[in-house]
Amino acid sequence: MSAAEIIEKIKALPPEEQRQVIAFFRAAEQAKSLETKTPRYADDGAAKAAGDRVLEEHAEVFKRLAE
């Protein structure tokens, strides 16, 4: 059976069954994407630079929190 034939079969399903098919494919795609994603980590220099930027941008907030 070709993809086009499968698509036509799905189109012919009642709305509730179409929703089930869509939910299945969305869940399958999400699972696939979770399997293939490799976490990215900042190196020490990048992490320090990001922290410094946060401290600089929000210096007043940190001063108030320290009081």
- For tokens 């293939």, the residue is 36
d(CA 6, CA 42): 44
Check whether 37 has a pLDDT greater than 70.
Answer: no
Half-sphere exposure in the Cβ direction for 29 (13 Å, CA): 6
Domain locations in the chain? 3-66
Q: Which two tokens stand for residue 48?
A: 């320090």
Can you state the angle between helices 44-57 and 59-66, rounded to 10 degrees? 80
For the stretch 40-65, pLDDT in tens is 788 899 999 999 999 999 989 888 88
What's the token pair of residue 16? 């509730």
What residue ranges in the chain does DSSP mark as E strands? none
